[in-house]
Amino acid sequence: MLLVLVALLVTLTVAQGGHELPVYPSYYPHEIAIETMPSERAADLLRDAKLHAYLGAELPFSNALPPSVRAVESLGGFIVIRLNPDRSFPDERSACAVIEAILRDTAGKSGFMFHPYPVTPWHGDYLYHVDQAEAEKARLLATPTAPPRRLLVKAGGVAAGLVRPEWRGEGSEWDAAIEEVAAAGLVSASATSINGWPGPPWVKSGWFHAERLLTDAVGDPEDKRRTEAMAQRLETGEYRDIVERINLERELVARLIGGCRKRVAGYTVKRQYFSVEFTNGIENIGFDSIQGFNSPMFLRTVKLKDFPWNGWLSLGTDAQPDAAWNPIAGFTDKVGRLLWSAIGDPALMSAPYDSGWVLNRIADVRANSGR
């Protein structure tokens, strides 16, 4: 027995007590409930701290927000003005006069931000375009002109408040239409999440959204060929360096807004609400500048206040699930994309405030030894 004790003492190594882990567990909830509900019910549940976040439309809080409710803002949609393709205009100059008269008339209207340039401050590449955006806005506002004739403009939803009452047109009799195009829809329609591939790196870039919004209105065949060639060069990396890439992006957007059949008038801001009530609320919230809460970043960062990590997360949405739930041809609706954000677990996910990607779980960070 004495020999056994001596052998054990020789083979034992020093052990230090402690609770630190080399890799910390994430705040990722182990159960997520997604329920479709109207905005009125979501407002009541958030006020009573029975819902953590609502991914739907603006909530009907009549006065100021309750003390336990907060909101985050992201890019809602683009306000787009397009001319009626069945309406004939004498020449391109008259078409420009019509669409620019409507553009100028929307300036100062409530419900949206007047920004006649398709790259917005919500895009990560806006700094590459800010001078062109400001110049276009100044050009439109510097020379106001009266409309060449009485206009018939049709609009619905948010855009309905941007049309003068005497200009409103219905049915097939209209010169132009004002519509809102959801920014998150542009992203989701161009992204893929198959076999760990999150999608093309430019899916949230402003130049790409400009191309998606306006390229179908380029009428001249030569202009269309040039814009398609520039977009292809950007997507295939046919440029020498970052300077050539930025100049190519700027030239592409400048060409797209040079036409007079379709223009971007501005953008709307989307607000999504969440509970910060103690202890039934949530904290440590990350979200996407374009997709808001409906993004992997939100689900990977949100922490429930009543749990150190994990726990039960309750989410509400105004959308009905109507797509197939499979990773090959499904998860394409609003609820499906949120569900796939939770269970897909790709190695990379979209950077919250920029185009490009960030690592999902662990980054190889070099320790600072203090020397």
Q: Could you read off the pLDDT of 199-246 as tens digits, one per residue?
A: 788 889 999 999 999 999 988 889 999 999 999 999 999 999 999 999
Quick check: is 67 in a domain?
yes
Quick check: is 341 in a domain?
yes
SS3 282: strand
- Is pLDDT larger for residue 170 or for residue 174? 174
Task: List the one residue out of 226, 281, 253, 234 whose CA is nearest residue 115.
Answer: 253
The pair phi, psi for residue 36, each rounded to 5°, is: -80, 130
Highest averaged pLDDT of the listed ranges 4-18, 188-202, 276-290 = 276-290
Type of residue at 96 = C
Look at residue 4 and tell me whether its pLDDT is greater than 70: no
Type of residue at 350 = S
Q: CB atoms < 10 A from the CB of 72, how many?
A: 18
Helices 206-214 and 221-236, interaxial angle, to 10°? 150
Tokens of 232: 């292809």
Residue 43, CB-side half-sphere exposure with 13 Å CA sphere? 13
Quick check: is 16 in a domain?
no
Residues 6+ apart with CB under 8 A from 126: 119, 120, 133, 206
Residues 6+ apart with CB under 8 A from 6: none
Look at residue 14 and tell me whether its pLDDT is greater than 70: no
pLDDT band at 54 (very low <50, low <70, confident <90, very high): very high
Stretch 63-71: mean pLDDT: 89
The DSSP 8-state label assigned to residue 72 in this structure reads E
pLDDT value of position 7:
56
Domain that includes residue 50, residue range:
24-73+272-358
As a whole number of angstroms, the distance between CA 131 and CA 362 comes to 38
Tokens of 260: 């007079």
Quick check: is 332 in a domain?
yes
- Contact assessment for residue 80 and residue 262, using Cβ atoms and an 8 Å cutoff: yes
Stretch 27-45: mean pLDDT: 90
| Number of domains the chain is built from | 1
Q: Could you check whether the bond before residue 279 is cis, i.e. omega within 30 degrees of 0?
A: yes
SS3 313: strand
pLDDT value of position 342:
82
- Total residue length of the chain: 371
Q: Are strands 312-317 and 31-36 parallel, antiparallel or unpaired?
A: parallel
Look at residue 148 and tell me whether its pLDDT is greater than 80: no
Quick check: is 180 in a domain?
no
Look at residue 169 and tell me whether its pLDDT is greater than 80: yes
- Is pLDDT larger for residue 345 or for residue 43? 43
CA end-to-end span of the chain: 49
Quick check: is 174 in a domain?
no
Q: What percent of the chain has pLDDT over 70?
A: 85
As a whole number of angstroms, the distance between CA 125 and CA 346 comes to 24
SS3 316: strand
Look at residue 187 and tell me whether its pLDDT is greater than 70: yes
pLDDT value of position 343:
81
Average pLDDT, the chain: 86
pLDDT value of position 344:
77
Stretch 184-199: mean pLDDT: 73
Task: List the one residue out of 131, 149, 147 whose CA is nearest residue 139.
Answer: 131
The DSSP 8-state label assigned to residue 215 in this structure reads G
pLDDT value of position 134:
97
pLDDT value of position 114:
97
- Contact assessment for residue 341 and residue 355, using Cβ atoms and an 8 Å cutoff: no
Q: Let me know how many helices (H) and strands (E) the chain has, helices first.
A: 10, 12
pLDDT band at 68 (very low <50, low <70, confident <90, very high): very high
Quick check: is 112 in a domain?
no
Per-residue burial over 266-301, b if 16 or more Cβ lie within 10 Å, else e, is bbbebebbbbbbeebbbeebbbbbbbbbbbbbbbbb
Quick check: is 104 in a domain?
no
Look at residue 339 and tell me whether its pLDDT is greater than 90: no
- Is pLDDT larger for residue 17 or for residue 180? 180
pLDDT in tens, 267-324: 999 999 999 999 899 998 999 999 999 988 898 889 899 887 778 999 999 988 888 8
